[in-house]
Structure 1
């Protein structure tokens, strides 16, 4: 599943999208709140969009929840089907692309997914406050794969269309309506690294 994404979003594009969607932004936020990164991987810090007063704020958080048991690993993807998120802290993860990997030998082939017809995407997520001095953390929600992702993986992260961003943050539509596979043609894919034979 998705354990690596890219964040190269121009601040002007972000502001334009927020204005287009009529999602307010707190004063004092700037391009420093949306730092660029070629790869944000498990346990890296990335910006997350969450509700704040009358708008949406960008907040840096750790990518993955801590393990739930001593033998477990970090929780960076969270299955969405059949779950209620009404009592969860919902968020959006802004990304210019996400990556999936195929193959059995290292290095695996690396495939880059971007959103067609939009300058960037937002991935549905949930976040939690940190415990014992740890920073707040987020995880990405997953669902069955749409036709664009299916050839590369048997699951996909939930990429929300912009008109559904506020619906997810404020849960003004049901989870079943929002947390769906991406329709065919939503995502563009390119192989950015061939795998080993």
Structure 2
């Protein structure tokens, strides 16, 4: 499951791309501070676009990744299957996400780290949901069974959304099952990197 992603794109480019897609984005809390980060990790604050009233509209805000779940463990991934995903949807901004696998080199003690990026665009949105909790509003990444690009690395995956589906995901009237699908095979590029192993003691629902 994804517990680490990358966001190095600037806020001006993000706003310009939404404008080109005719998705109306407001910034009710001012322009979010979006420093370039190679690693966005669980409990970090990061920008999302929350669904607003009406289609093709949203609010760009900074929110915590993960809300406290049972026993206080952070809920950072939520299974998309058989859940009501109607109202509290969001787009999670990134330009890459990571998965970890057992080391290919037996001499290595740390896990191998793999970066997934989109071939056709320098940044993209992942499907997410948000909720209010005692630590404030927070978001989690939706997951589904892995598609062909990710299955060699993990049996589950987060859900990158094609650009022509961003507005639909922000519209709670559009059924989630019509949107949450695999990208076509070959859409993602994979690069091997190295980093810290996945966080322990966190919940993926």
- TM-score higher than 0.5: yes
1:27 to 1:143, Cα distance in 2 relative to 1, 3 A: closer
TM-score by length of 2: 0.84
Q: Provide, for residues 115-138 of structure 1, a one-character-per-residue CA deviation record: whole Å limited to 9, x for no partner.
A: 11112110101101232xx23110
* Runs of 4+ in structure 1 over 4 Å off: none
Residue equivalent to 1:94: 93
Residues 4-153 of structure 1: pairs in structure 2 closer than 5 A: 4-26=4-26, 29-30=30-31, 32-52=32-52, 55-67=57-69, 69-70=70-71, 73-86=73-86, 88-103=87-102, 106-131=109-134, 134-153=135-154
1:27 to 1:97, Cα distance in 2 relative to 1, 3 A: closer
User: Does residue 3 in structure 1 map to residue 3 in structure 2?
Assistant: yes
Q: 1 CA distance for matches of 2:137 and 2:131?
A: 6
Number of aligned residue pairs: give it. 190
Q: 1:50: Cα distance to partner?
A: 1.1
Structure 2 unaligned regions, length at least 5? 197-205
Residues 114, 188 of structure 1: 8 Å contact kept: yes
Residues 144, 181 of structure 1: 8 Å contact kept: no
Structure 1 unaligned regions, length at least 5? none
Q: Provide, for residues 130-168 of structure 1, a one-character-per-residue CA deviation record: whole Å limited to 9, x for no partner.
A: 32xx23110000011111101000000011111111111
1:49 to 1:27, Cα distance in 2 relative to 1, 3 A: closer
1:182 to 1:107, Cα distance in 2 relative to 1, 3 A: same
